[in-house]
Every structure is written in C-alpha cells, then in structure tokens.
Amino acid sequence: MLFFCNFVSEKLSFMQIILFDDYKRQDFYPLDLGRPLGKLFLGCYTMDQRWENLFNTPVQIHYLTDSYLEESIPFIEGETYYYINARVFADKNLLQALLNLEYDKTIKKEENLLFLKSKAHFQEYPILEKYCLDLPTSEWKEDCIILENPWDLFVLNEKAIAADVQNLPKSYTQHEKREGVFMDDPSRIYIHPDATVMPCYLQAQSGYIYIGPHAKINMGAMVQGSLVMLEHAELKLGAKVYGASSLGKYVKIGGEIANVIFFDYSNKGHEGFIGNSVIGSWCNFGADTNSSNLKNNYSKIKIWNAYSQENRNTEQQFLGLLMADHCKTGINTMLNTGTVAGIHSNIFGAGFPKKQIPSFYWGGAESEDKYDFEKAMITAERMMARRNQRLTEKQKRIYKHLFNQEKI
C-alpha cells in the first residue's frame, strides 16, 4: 500500500512530508516504544500511509520524533517542507488546507498544532512546537480526528475502517457471493482477487469486511464486521472475530477476538480471548491466553503510564491489553483488565501477573526478572527469520536504549 517510498528516481520530484510527534507522544505508551507515532495502525492503514495515499504526486515521508529512534531528515535547500502532526487522521479537507497554507504559518485546532508549511528545517526536537508558537496561526474550526490516547486506536477503529474502505485501490473490488460462504451483504464485503476464503460466515451488515491480497480465512471462521485483514493475514479454523478489528500483515488469529488491532507479524494462533486491545508487532500469544476487558464491578478502567509513573483514567468501560512489540505469553496466561506490557516482555506462569509489565520483563505472578538483552535479541532474530525478515543493527541500538531505561 506504500506507493512511492520504496524507490527513488532522479526524474521524480518528491513532496517533502514530515510527520512530527508533539507533546502528546508519551501519552501513547507503550505503543510509542520503538516507533514514531506516524507508524500507528488502525483501519486499513498506518497513519503515514493514510496521508501518503491522499497525495496525487510522489511524496517523501520523514519523521520528527524522539532522537533515540535515529530518524534523519536530509534537508534540501529551497525545498518546501510540509509538517503534519502524526496524530492527525488524514482528510481531504485538511490536505487542501495544508496545500493552501502560506509559508511559515501554522494551522491549529485548540491546543493541537496540525500543520506547518515552511522552507526552514527544524532539526531539533521539540524545538518545532516551541518555534511554531511564534508563527502566524490559523484556527481550524471544522471537525477532524486527532488521536489523543493509545486506546483511541480500537475505539475509533470502526470509523477508520468505514472511511478507509471508500478509498481502497480499484483492485480491491466488492465481491459477489461465493459457494459455501455466507455473506449477509456482499456490497459491504471486499475480497481481493488473490485472497483465499473457505466456507465461513461473514456478517457485514453493521460494518465492513476487507480481505486483502493473499489473506486467508479458513473453514468455519465466523466474522461479525467490521474486519480488516491485510496481506497474508489469516483466520484459523473456527476463529471468532467481532467488533471492528484490524489485522496487519502476516497476522494469524485463532480463538476469539473482539475490537482488537494487531500490528504486522503478530500471532494469536490458538484458543483464548483478547478484547478491546492494541497489540504491537512480533508478539505471540501462547495457547489459551486470556485477557479480561471488563472489570467485575463495571467501573471505568485505569492504565499505567511508565513515563508519568501514574495511572491514567481512560473513561473506558472496556479495555483489555496494550502491548508493545516483541512480547510473548506462555500457555494459559491470564491477563487482568487494563494490562500494559512494555517492549520485549516475556510473560508466563500461573496466576495473574501485575498490570504494569515493564519492558524486558521475564516472569509472571510467582516470580519476575529482567530479560537478558542478548537472549531477547536472539529470540527476536529467530522469530523474524520465520517471516524472512531481519533484525537490523539500528533496531538493536533502539532496543538497547530502551533496555537501559529503568522506568519503561
């Protein structure tokens, strides 16, 4: 789905787009660990892909984010740079406002800086936000979606899917009924020609279903949309899915999920329930892992933020698990309502582990230790090799930085 960033041609003139992370970045713990906010995924796309798809000309996407992520922006003298808040959901009206914006002016909505158009390059972070306060400002009065919290990804996923399916490439056509597959409303079901759909139950009357290239739905799966399955995603035999869920590339799902987002390459291949959750990349759930998404007293759920070292009131009655990349659970793992797991955590054992699971955690309710860094990297390399992916030296440096942070 990335149309222009996979190649560079001297004959093409690229628009220079910089997605910047602002003062809210740390509110997205633990999903911020190891990625700029422009890589957050909901609906059919990541935030950067959604912006990229709106432009009619080739674009070069850059990221202005925490320095440990080692994102570099090659500044070209005389080029126009469009700075876009990475938390802002791409919209045609917003795009037009951005393109019409004069140089060195900003567009804000309430306290949120949305856009800046400039020939200057802001090399230090967070200098951008401070500098823009002194620039001429236009206020944006129309409605727009701005992500405020990590749980917004699953809360807003129904709306995101509904918007994204309207802009799918022409090859993603609405599919007619096929033998053995129950479809209550084929006009709301999009099946890519290269997808495999075996006899199953697809109910889309209350949403949309999109099954991407080389995605697979196995025998007996039951889907109550909305559902998005990207390339090579798979629903295993008898899987049960409902409540606006999005599955990234190569994600495998068995058992039961409800209103969950899985980033690329994560697996929940067995029985067990995960609901109202966001799962990072390269995670794996052992058989019969279950996560509570509702408290017994039906009260609103609080979650831990490692940066502020305090619990945040989400105002959500349903919230299961927020999990960073490269996390693993053992068989029969039980996770409490509102559990937050840092990057490269390995959770196992009887009983409920604590709800605040730090990065590089090793253990469960009965014992806990810190995951040896080199062993964690070996595990990551082995898992990634199974999908013909490689752990880069840059990624190792990023993970080493996070390993050395006590709080997260």
Which tens digits make up the pLDDT trace of 210-221? 999 999 999 999
Distance CA 176, CA 261 (A): 27
CATH number of 153-403: 2.160.10.10
| Whether residue 6 has pLDDT greater than 80 | no
Q: What is the CA radius of gyration of the chain?
A: 21
Q: What is the average pLDDT across 243-266?
A: 98
Q: What digits encode the pLDDT tens for the residues 72-90?
A: 888 888 889 999 999 999 9
Distance CA 286, CA 302 (A): 26
Most confident of 69-73, 76-80, 122-126, 245-249: 245-249
| Whether residue 135 has pLDDT greater than 90 | no
Cis peptide upstream of residue 30 (ω within 30 degrees of 0): yes
Average pLDDT of the chain, as a whole number = 91
- Cβ atoms of 257 and 224 within 8 Å: the answer is no
Q: What CATH architecture is 15-148?
A: Alpha-Beta Complex (3.90)
Element (H, E) at 385: helix 373-385
Q: What digits encode the pLDDT tens for the residues 298-307?
A: 999 999 999 9
- Cβ atoms of 44 and 166 within 8 Å: the answer is no
pLDDT of residue 65: 92
Residue predicted with more confidence, 324 or 225:
324
Phi, psi of 365 (to 5 degrees): -70, -30
Domain 15-148 identical in fold to domain 153-403: no
pLDDT of residue 131: 65
pLDDT of residue 5: 36
Span between the terminal Cα atoms of the chain, in Å: 32
DSSP calls for 168-202: --TTS-B----TT-EES-GGGEEE-TT-EE-S-EE
Distance CA 242, CA 235 (A): 12
Q: Where are the domains of the chain?
A: 15-148, 153-403
Long-range Cβ contact pairs of 127-134 (< 8 A, separation 24 or more)? 128/20, 128/22, 128/64, 128/83, 129/22, 129/23, 132/106
pLDDT of residue 225: 87
Q: What digits encode the pLDDT tens for the residues 309-357?
A: 999 999 999 999 999 999 999 999 999 999 999 999 999 998 999 999 9
